[in-house]
Amino acid sequence: MNSGNHTEDLSDDEDGLSPAGGEKKRRLNSEQVKMLEKNFELGNKLEPDRKLHLAKLLGLPPRQIAIWFQNRRVRWKTKQLENDYQLLKRRIDAIKAENSTLQSQNQRLHDQVDVQRNFYVQRLHCNHATLLIS
């Protein structure tokens, strides 16, 4: 680790340069990451001309730029999936709460119907008994 320059260690670990490939792994500094993030916001697909322009501008190999974009797309998609999951979870929780309320209302209505039915049956028996007596 280079104790004199911490900005070299600040970055995404997504440079795409393999130590087995013979090249030293280069980390992006904060300015490079900011520039790549801004460019990613403009479009998450990287055309060859844009890749070469960014590589030249940032002083990085084009492959490192391409791999950074690829990894960033994966992180973006993962974040989208997490957001979608949270939205669906909130919707499901709301539907479950509504379902519980409806089940309670349904039970109350069934109870009311049973009370009315019992009252009607009782009245019918009373009327029937009165007719038999008279």
Q: Does domain 6-133 have CATH number 1.10.10.60?
A: yes
Contact indicator for 45, 65 with CB cutoff of 8 Å: no
The 10s digit of each residue's pLDDT in 24-58 is 667 899 999 999 999 999 999 999 999 999 999 99
Amino acid at 114: D
Contact indicator for 54, 65 with CB cutoff of 8 Å: yes
The 10s digit of each residue's pLDDT in 77-102 is 999 999 999 999 999 999 999 999 99
| CB neighbourhood size of 127 (10 A) | 10
pTM score, whole prediction: 0.60
Amino acid at 73: R
Q: What is the pLDDT of residue 1?
A: 40
